[in-house]
Amino acid sequence: MDENLEFHIKVSYFEIYLDKIRDLLDVSKTNLAVHEDKNRVPYVKGCTERFVSSPEEVMDVIDEGKTNRHVAVTNMNEHSSRSHSIFLINIKQENVETEKKLSGKLYLVDLAGSEKVSKTGAEGSVLDEAKNINKSLSALGNVISALAEGTKTHVPYRDSKMTRILQDSLGGNCRTTIVICCSPSIFNEAESKSTLMFGQR
């Protein structure tokens, strides 16, 4: 590796719960806002950033944040994620000799599970969570469809906070990969089919 290169890596970890952005590394920050930088790229203002220097430190931050995520027991899942979580790795490279700088971001997104309300037995706050989850997943699907068609001048990024945050990762100078998870059980046939159709977009 070029000895003139310096790397600075920092990470953030937050969740979108009931359409509110909550810092998983500082749970006192419960309603963070989405702003745009000078290049009109959306970012979460006020979110905790931690500098890391090893894979072990990255995993420590992930473990810390995971303990603060919203989960609930439903009829379909003993540990059902009730929020979308986003782990952001921000990398900056600088050549100390030429002062040339490069930067990149990696978003690791764990989407809340799409579970049919009628099967989950969800009530009260868990029912509200399910409705919000389905609404934001629908917004993400609409954005992906609009980008895939390539003919629409308007892509509905602003329909949810999640799609707005991920705007640069979906339609910018980026590469995007989606991994979908399906259940092998016949009981979940409808959900698996819906998930596969989502991935097909």
At 181, is the secondary structure helix, strand, or coil?
coil
- For residue range 57-105, list pLDDT tens digits in order: 999 999 999 999 876 544 444 445 678 999 999 999 999 999 999 999 9
What are the residue boundaries of the structural domains of the chain, listed by start?
Answer: 5-200
List, for residues 133-188, the tens digit of each pLDDT value.
Answer: 888 888 998 998 888 887 667 899 999 999 999 999 998 789 988 898 888 888 87
pLDDT for position 191: 79
pLDDT for 145 = 87
Measured CA to CA in angstroms, residue 197 lies from 84, 125, 180, 182, 201 at distances of: 20, 28, 10, 11, 7
Q: Answer whether residue 192 shows pLDDT above 50.
A: yes
Q: Which pLDDT tens digit goes with each residue over 17-51?
A: 888 999 999 999 999 999 999 989 999 999 999 99
Classify domain 5-200 at the CATH topology level: Kinesin (3.40.850)
Which residue type occupies 79? H
Grouping H, G, I as helix, E, B as strand and the rest as coil, residue 71 is strand
At 66 the pLDDT is 92
pLDDT score, position 108: 97
